[in-house]
Amino acid sequence: MSPSMRRWSITFARLAVILSLFVAWEIAARYFVDPMFLSPPSKVIGSLGKLFARPGLTNALLLLLGELLISFVCSILIGLPIAVAISASKVTRRNMLPIVLLLYGTPQITILPIVMLLAGVGTASKITFGITHGVFPVILTVVASLRDLKDIHKQSAYSMGANSWQRFRYVLLPHMLPALLTSLRLAMIASLLGVLLAELYSSSSGVGFFTRQFTDTFDSTSLFGLVLVTAAIAIFFNELLHGLQSRLTAYRR
């Protein structure tokens, strides 16, 4: 099978799965579940115009996008140097990696009150909580990639007199690039999750506020519409990063 045919078959399979889920959702909502708790997708999609007409919702989505992008970029800027530092030698990896794994294994929701205490209730706490979610995929994925880097490559760079920046630019970066691009996709989704969780618990505005409002009033149509919009944002950024990954790693094929 040619590469183009393979891509088309994968796309068709994904669309078939999504369509099947929507059909199952439609049937369940109309015949098996109380519409107060589950609204059919046909009704949800048809009410998106009314949803966006709600005062403040568009601003809430724009605020979410801004917080997501800031937390995502900060996760990369913080996580990448930490990952390189951990991977600098076997000693640093042996001593620092368990600490990172311990922090990553800690339920993030338990530190939300601490984040709110330090950063306050508002945008700063949401961005901070997004960073605490997004930074770990970058660290762990890059560390796992650099662990496979052969010592001969490092020694060759040292023997040719390469400085720290040259070793990073010509040895470390090409080796970890595929893993780094994969970690960006994971960090984007994790940062979105962190921002949304912080909004649910600490925001008096934003998407989390509207989610609580729709839940408390049993407005399942608006609630699922907001969920679809949020999912569309996640899918858009995931596909954007996937396209970037495909372009930058084409040389490996």
Confidence tier at 71 by pLDDT (50, 70, 90): very high
Return the CA Rg of the chain.
22
Top-confidence residue, 193 or 201: 193
Residue ranges making up the domain that contains 184: 61-202+236-252
CA angle 201, 202, 206 (to 5 degrees): 95
Is position 14 within any domain? no
Single-letter amino acid code for the residue at 215:
T
How many CB atoms are closer than 10 A to CB 133?
A: 22
Residues in the chain: 253
Is position 44 within any domain? no
C-alpha span between 218 and 140 (Å, rounded) = 40
Is position 145 within any domain? yes
Is position 93 within any domain? yes
In tens, the pLDDT along 100-156 reads: 988 888 888 888 888 888 877 778 888 999 999 999 999 999 888 888 777 676 677
C-alpha span between 39 and 208 (Å, rounded) = 20
Residue 250: predicted pLDDT:
63
**Closest by CA position to 141, among listed 192, 195, 190, 71:** 190
What letter would DSSP give residue 250?
G
Residue 126: give its domain's CATH number.
Answer: 1.10.3720.10
Is position 5 within any domain? no
**Closest by CA position to 219, among listed 227, 139, 72:** 227
Residue 2: predicted pLDDT:
65
In tens, the pLDDT along 140-181 reads: 998 888 887 776 766 777 777 777 777 777 777 777 888 888
Is position 194 within any domain? yes
